A and B are shown apart, each in its own frame.
Chain A
Amino acid sequence: MTGFRYPVSYRVSSRQEETHDTVTITLEPAGEPIAAFRPGQFTMLYSFGVGEIPISVSGPPGVPTLTHTIRAVGAVSAALCAAQPGQVIGVRGPFGTSWDHAEAAANRDLLLVAGGIGLAPLRPALLEALAQPGRYRRIIMLAGARSAAELVFAAEYGRWRERGAEVAITVDKADASWPGQVGVVTQLIGRAHLDPARTTALICGPEVMMRITARTLTAAGLPPASIWISLERNMQCGTAECGHCQLGPLLLCRDGPVVNFGLAEPLLTVREL
């Protein structure tokens, strides 16, 4: 399978700065492409000579290009963030589980809850849902960030609303220029007037944010089986062979990153598991 063991060449076709440390790059195949991805899956992106890291796909499915949103936190991510149009990036994948469990949620309410750059892996699911009017009764996007300057895809929220999504944004800290909500993202849940029996929730953000959000949702009556989260660990192979991404019984590159909360909760409550 192309792009499974050896990186294949993609070329940066556009680069968009999201925040002071986060960049969205779009890649087009420079040769044979990797297999089609599903929302929630990730690829291994290779910066020539620097290294390779797992990054979730943040662009829409069903197109030949691959879009990734990357925060510069280490040598490889910084090199990828600095990649300019025309530069070649190595890509392996796609790997892992997807948000496709939401497929079963047709005619239900689709709730997406994002913390910070956790919005990136949720964006393909949102774009796919918006492209299928009438498939869901409601599409609700609740997103939070530490500050207004750290919101990603901020220019798109208006378009998402126009296309039928209910979008609520909050920031942890704000100055007087911020007109919107201030507080953590869980505070938006009560105002969303959820119907717990017909809501499917997809959550991505820092682990503590996902745990608290999921618990808030279960307290509101959502069964854990209706809640899906996207987990992160050190990943090096993507093919369940290097052993780094273990979380208890899970190999997150294979059994994740998207995991049902019912399975994940007891694992997330153990320190340093």
Chain B
Amino acid sequence: MTVLTGNGGAAGNGGAAGNGGAGVAGQRRRFELPAAGLEDLHRALVSAGYQVIGPRVTGDAITLGELTSASELPFGWGVSLSPGGYRLRKRDDAAAFGHSAGPGSWKQFLHPPREQLWSATRGTDGLAVGPGAVQEPRKLAFLGVRPCDLRAIQVLDRVLRGAAGRDCAYSRRRAAVFIIVVNCTEPGETCFCASMATGPESGPGYDLLMTELTAGPDHSFVIEAGSPGGQEILTRLPVRPADPGVTERADTAVAGAADRMGRSMQTDGLPGMLAASRHAQRWEDVASRCLTCGNCTMACPTCFCTTVEDVTDLSGEHAERWQNWSSCFELDFSYLHGGPVRSSGVSRYRQWLTHKLGTWHDQFGSSGCVGCGRCIVWCPVGIDLTEEVAALWAERNAAGGPTAGSEGPERGERG
């Protein structure tokens, strides 16, 4: 088993973080870090100039925010997940990363909910337009990125760094991020990363990769570098070369997680099936339950849509443009002189699901879904994406085959 060949797709697009775990071709240099060494890791990151962002318990959830110490990690906390349900639970062990995705995602740091795009003043020679109050991006260290969420970051990279690799605020923020992935050893009830080939073992793109071990005699981590920056941090940690027995335990724990996914999805041929299912009955069924609230799009780690807002000051001589997160569930999202193109809830749910799992491939060369399950958990009425896809498959198969068109020839479909 090797990390380098574990995942294809969006991997390799990770930019600053380099591409994988091998120091020497084909050979992984893996070390063991005692759990107490997390504090050394935090200190090394801070002294390298990073603000450390990671999971911690806030209120009744595990959310992402600044960690002033590794002791703020949610040691001993797990979560119980269900459609429309999220509860913290005490674990039997002291695992720091024994929980699956919470309501937040790394998107909120890389692609902030509200951002100024530019400001302008009107002068006699024209408009003076500039980046406004934009500051140099902070150096952020993301501690405890799950493999599915690493893939989500790489999906965002494809969309927001753009085909031309343009200089933009997202690119600058992204280049200043250091990524520490923790392999998944305990998927949640709503997880399906194994179906989406995004986990539980991480693909390349991290600076450091860890696997948490709690079952053995000691609470420790197997750790390896995936970039020169990761290597540099690694040299400052109290590590020792990992014994084969330890790495084997780590690999077994990660491999076993693939068999304990709470959900699954049939992805083979999925974009083609969805392109052929634009008139499916199931859309009416799900739309009758959907509140079109947009929670799924806010919780989703890859939903990137935004709306701009133009504002002026009272003098009218100074204007600004702001970008806000938006959702395809909003009526105004598709507004075109006179009214919305997608006025029904049926059309808006169909747009979200078919974009995420189908047409994203056409637009950006990968699926938009990483199998994290957030949209299932944070849907107030518990709509389960995997259940909807299974129903669409069943309806399509009953109609004569995966891509048998009910409305004439379909183009632009894949798979």
Q: Is the CB of A263 within 8 A of B411?
A: yes
Q: Is the CB of B343 within 8 A of A272?
A: yes
B381 located at the interface, meaning its Cβ lies under 8 Å from any Cβ of chain A in the complex? no
Q: Is the CB of B305 within 8 A of A242?
A: yes
Which residues of the partner chain B approach A248 to less than 8 Å between Cβ atoms? 275, 354, 359, 412
B393 located at the interface, meaning its Cβ lies under 8 Å from any Cβ of chain A in the complex? no
Q: Which of B278, B334, B337 contacts A244 (CB 8 A)?
A: B334
Q: Is the CB of B347 within 8 A of A249?
A: no
Name, among B118, B168, B412, the residue most crowded by chain A CB atoms within 10 Å (CB to CB).
Answer: B412
Q: Is the CB of A239 within 8 A of B162?
A: yes
Q: Compute how far the CA of A15 lies from the CA of B21 in the bound complex, rounded to whole angstroms.
A: 62
Name, among A4, A11, A51, A248, the residue most crowded by chain B CB atoms within 10 Å (CB to CB).
Answer: A248
Q: Compute how far the CA of A88 lies from the CA of B343 in the bound complex, rounded to whole angstroms.
A: 36
- Which one of B30-38, B124-132, B138-146, B370-378 is at the interface? B124-132
- Which one of A156-164, A168-176, A230-238 is at the interface? A230-238
A9 → chain B, closest Cβ, in Å?
3
Q: Compute how far the CA of A31 lies from the CA of B124 in the bound complex, rounded to whole angstroms.
A: 12
Q: Is the CB of A243 within 8 A of B306?
A: yes
Q: Is the CB of A30 within 8 A of B126?
A: yes
Q: A263-B412, A266-B409 are in contact. Are A244 and B307 (CB under 8 A)?
A: yes
Q: Compute how far the CA of A220 lies from the CA of B141 in the bound complex, rounded to whole angstroms.
A: 63
Which residues of the partner chain A approach B307 to less than 8 Å between Cβ atoms? 236, 242, 244
B339 → chain A, closest Cβ, in Å?
11
Q: Which of B159, B305, B363 contacts A249 (CB 8 A)?
A: B363
Q: A239-B162, A240-B162 are in contact. Are A73 and B275 (CB under 8 A)?
A: no
Which residues of the partner chain A approach B131 to less than 8 Å between Cβ atoms? 6
Question: Contact string, A40-62, partner B, CB cutoff 8 A, digits 1/0?
Answer: 00000010111110000000000
Which residues of the partner chain A approach B354 to less than 8 Å between Cβ atoms? 248
B148 located at the interface, meaning its Cβ lies under 8 Å from any Cβ of chain A in the complex? no
Chain A residue nearest in CB terms to B168: A5
A270 located at the interface, meaning its Cβ lies under 8 Å from any Cβ of chain B in the complex? yes
Chain A residue nearest in CB terms to B413: A249
Q: Compute how far the CA of A81 lies from the CA of B170 in the bound complex, rounded to whole angstroms.
A: 35
Q: Which of A30, A88, A241 contacts B160 (CB 8 A)?
A: A241
Q: Is the CB of B319 within 8 A of A48?
A: yes
Q: Compute how far the CA of A244 lies from the CA of B307 in the bound complex, rounded to whole angstroms.
A: 8
Which residues of the partner chain B approach A104 to less than 8 Å between Cβ atoms? none
Which residues of the partner chain B approach A201 to less than 8 Å between Cβ atoms? none
A250 located at the interface, meaning its Cβ lies under 8 Å from any Cβ of chain B in the complex? yes
Q: Is the CB of B347 within 8 A of A241?
A: no
B266 located at the interface, meaning its Cβ lies under 8 Å from any Cβ of chain A in the complex? no
Chain A residue nearest in CB terms to B131: A6
Question: Contact string, A253-273, partner B, CB cutoff 8 A, digits 1/0?
Answer: 000000000110011011111
Q: Is the CB of B408 within 8 A of A266?
A: yes
Question: Within residues 318 to 358 of chain B, which ones have a CB less than 8 A from any CB in chain A?
Answer: 319, 321, 323, 326, 328, 333-338, 341-344, 346-347, 351, 354-355, 358
Q: Is the CB of B359 within 8 A of A246?
A: yes
Q: Is the CB of A272 within 8 A of B342?
A: yes
Q: A30-B126, A48-B319 are in contact. Are A233 and B362 (CB under 8 A)?
A: no
Q: Is the CB of B412 within 8 A of A251?
A: no
B1 located at the interface, meaning its Cβ lies under 8 Å from any Cβ of chain A in the complex? no
Which residues of the partner chain B approach A74 to less than 8 Å between Cβ atoms? 337
Chain A residue nearest in CB terms to B163: A240
Q: Is the CB of B127 within 8 A of A9?
A: yes
> Using a CB–CB distance below 8 Å, which chain B residues touch chain A?
117-118, 120, 122, 125-127, 129-131, 159-160, 162-163, 166, 168, 275, 278-279, 304-308, 310, 312, 316, 319, 321, 323, 326, 328, 333-338, 341-344, 346-347, 351, 354-355, 358-359, 362-363, 407-413
11 residue pairs bridging A and B, Cβ less than 8 Å apart:
A1-B166, A5-B118, A48-B120, A48-B319, A88-B126, A233-B341, A243-B305, A244-B334, A266-B408, A272-B342, A272-B347
Sorted from nearest, which 6 A-B pairs have the closest CB atoms?
A: A9-B126, A243-B305, A249-B362, A272-B347, A49-B312, A249-B412
